[in-house]
C-alpha cells in the first residue's frame, strides 16, 4: 500500500467534519487567496504548484498540475516554476549552512 493514497485528495473536504467553523474559515480564506487580483488565477496556480513541489505534497502537486493545465499554463511554464522553487530551496539550504560555519568559528576547532 502506498503511503499517499490518490483517493485521499477527493476526501480533503472531510477534514472539516469535526471542526466545521474552522474549516469554513479556512475555505473562505483559501478561496479569497486564489481569486483574481493583482495576479491572475493561472499565475496563482503556478505559484501553488511550485510551492507544492518544494513542500513535496503529492496531493497539492496533483491538484495544481491539473489546475494549471485547466487555466492554460503549459508544461514548460510549470517546469520553469519548479526550477525556481528548487533554486530557492537549494539556496536556502546553503544559506543555513552559514550557521554551521558560525558554530565552527565560535568553537574554533
Q: Is the dihedral of CA 27, 29, 32, 33 positive or negative?
A: negative
* pLDDT of res. 41: 96
* pLDDT of res. 49: 98
Mind listing the pLDDT tens digit for each residue in 31-69?
A: 999 999 999 999 999 999 999 999 999 999 999 999 999
Q: Is the pTM of this model over 0.75?
A: yes
Mind listing the pLDDT tens digit for each residue in 5-24?
A: 888 889 999 999 999 999 99
Residue 1 has pLDDT above 70, yes or no: no
Interior/surface letters 14-48, b for 16+ CB within 10 angstroms, e for the rest: eeeeeeeeeeeeeeeeeeeeeeeeeeebbbbbbeb
Amino acid at each position: 500500500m502506498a503511503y499517499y493514497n490518490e483517493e485521499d485528495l477527493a476526501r480533503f473536504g472531510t477534514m472539516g467534519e469535526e471542526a466545521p467553523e474552522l474549516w469554513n474559515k479556512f475555505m473562505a480564506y483559501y478561496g479569497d487567496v486564489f481569486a483574481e487580483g493583482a495576479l491572475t488565477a493561472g499565475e496563482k496556480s503556478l505559484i501553488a504548484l511550485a510551492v507544492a513541489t518544494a513542500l513535496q505534497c503529492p496531493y497539492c502537486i496533483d491538484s495544481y498540475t491539473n489546475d494549471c493545465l485547466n487555466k492554460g499554463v503549459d508544461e514548460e511554464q510549470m517546469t520553469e516554476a519548479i526550477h525556481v522553487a528548487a533554486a530557492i530551496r537549494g539556496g536556502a539550504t546553503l544559506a543555513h549552512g552559514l550557521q554551521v560555519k558560525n558554530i565552527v568559528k565560535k568553537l574554533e576547532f
